[in-house]
Amino acid sequence: MNFKRTVYLIKSDLYRHTGTLGAILFFRAMMFIPGFKYSTWMRVCAYLRQHNLFKYFLFPVATIILWHYRDKYGIDIPSSTTIGTGLYIGHFGEIIVHPNTIIGNNFTIGQGVTIGVAFNPERMGTPTIGDNVYIGPGAKVFGKITIGNNVQVGANCVVTKNIPDNAVVVGVPGRIIKYRGSENYSVDRQL
């Protein structure tokens, strides 16, 4: 990941949170929006980790800052997680994402969400999540599954099977109730 891409990712996250861009707005968001503050440090750590010049000096400092915010806000999304543009963390608290998870663009995640590995031999691994996905508060997503584009996962839902595009999933275990997708539940702001 190069510097330009990192800046673009941070701008896309800011735009998802605020609907506009600007230097003053960036500093205000860094002070008052915990989800944006965390995602910014996560993106900075991801950039620094990949460059030999920064890897041994700045990366450890940035990682300590990220760990501080992890503990303060209860968000544990490692910098090694692959996440596209426009990450929106609406509320902080008990958010856990496995580092091998692959997440697409315009992803919205609620508080209390766990996205993790399954040790079941049939589904061993971590999820791949498409674009424009909303995962509601308290939802759990486990295993080597694919969640399609424009999917809405309802609050407290447990997903352990593949979900096709445009599905709305609810319940324990998760079941599809309709194919309306995340159109009304996701903050639809893109750069």
Residue 179: predicted pLDDT: 84
Confidence (pLDDT) at 182: 58
CATH architecture entry for 94-182: 3 Solenoid (2.160)
Per-chain mean pLDDT for the chain: 90
- Whether omega for the bond prior to residue 173 falls within 30 degrees of 0, making it cis, is yes
β-strand partners of 81: none
Beta carbons within 8 Å of 12's beta carbon, 6+ residues apart: 85, 86, 87, 190, 191
Query: pTM (2 decimals)?
Result: 0.89
The whole-number pLDDT of residue 180 equals 75
CA angle 131, 134, 140 (to 5 degrees): 110
88: amino acid identity, one letter: Y
pLDDT band of residue 11 (cuts 50, 70, 90) is very high
Pairing label, strands 88-89, 108-109:
parallel
